[in-house]
Amino acid sequence: DDRPRRDDRGYDRPRRDDRGYDRPRREAAPSHDASRDAHVDVVHERLQAEAIQADNIADATFADLGLGQNIVTRLTELGAEKPFPIQAATVAPILEGRDVLARGRTGSGKTIAFGAPLVESVLRSQAGTRREFGRAPKALIMAPTRELALQIDRTVQTLARSVGLFTTQIYGGVPQARQVGALKKGVDIVIGTPGRIEDLERQGKLDLADHMCELGFLEPVQRILRLTAGDSQKLLFSATLDREVAALVDEFLVEPAVYEVAGEDQDSGTIDHRVLVVDHRDKAE
Ligand code: AMP
């Protein structure tokens, strides 16, 4: 065998460890040290809102709050037998059609807090009508990241299925054909990230005119919300409520019911958020 052995190939292309010669290693990069020195925590100013303390709300069951039997059963199967405080606070006003603004730290149960009443509302709005092929979605859930959108869909989809409704995910980084196919057939609840949602709307493949519920967080969310019916119900759930969220609240939420869980805001939690600025070529490392 006269082909070079695997080990010999190192001569014409540098081994991983050698790359340090043409680009500085992390530790050696002056810009890295500089950026470490210049490290600044960006703290958004907190949105001042009069908050009803959710833990003051009496012991109600999910059924007492107005959710139907199929949804309650499915919640029990998911391990949610009794509402968490944020859920006890938000389910009833959402079913009444109010706009809602809620803060609860990661893990406080926000997904079910908006997801269960959203499914119930869509179900009620369709009572007595046939689910038509190609129908426009009734609710749009926007999340800032694809991972969060997928996580939300895992819960919302199982609740929706329990009452015969369909969800679909609309996010970037994957071909759009399957997403467009689902929209063509007709879905009831869309869950996704703002970029791809805007894309498909611009292409005329997603009709936002009929939306009832919105949940969003980022700047393009404003552009998307402006495309939806002015009287649609808007639900804004976040671990933080800062001045950026305030812009959404001012423009889109009409006399929202505002909730936060006492002693449970993100600031008192155990999660640290850090932004690390790195060169693209260093990203994998
Ligand atoms: P979330 O904050 O929405 O990500 O929910 C955090 C976790 O709590 C998830 O694993 C939920 O399934 C679970 N969970 C949410 N609500 C309840 C509840 N009422 N009872 C028990 N577990 C719940």
Q: What is the DSSP string of 215-234?
A: E--SHHHHHHHHTS-TT-EE
Residue 129's pLDDT is 81
22 C-alpha to ligand 1 centroid (Å): 49
Cβ neighbours around 110 below 10 Å, total: 23
* Residue-level pLDDT, tens digit, the chain, 285 residues: 555 554 444 444 444 444 333 433 334 334 444 444 455 544 445 555 555 555 556 678 999 999 999 999 999 999 999 999 889 999 999 999 999 988 888 888 999 999 999 999 999 998 878 888 888 899 999 988 899 999 999 999 999 999 999 999 999 989 999 999 999 999 999 999 988 998 999 999 988 865 544 444 456 788 888 988 888 999 988 877 666 677 788 889 888 888 877 665 555 556 677 888 999 899 888
Q: What is the pTM of this model?
A: 0.73
Q: Strands 167-170, 100-103: parallel, antiparallel or unpaired by DSSP?
A: unpaired
φ and ψ at 214, to 5 degrees? -130, 145
* Interatomic CA distance for residues 222 and 218, integer angstroms: 8
Cβ neighbours around 107 below 10 Å, total: 11
Q: Which of 156, 175, 86, 72 is nearest to 118 (CA)?
A: 156
Residue nearest to ligand 1 atom 20, measured at CA: 80
185 C-alpha to ligand 1 centroid (Å): 31
Query: Given ligand 1 and candidates 112, 145, 259, which is best to mutate, with the most ligand atoms within 8 Å of its CB?
Result: 112
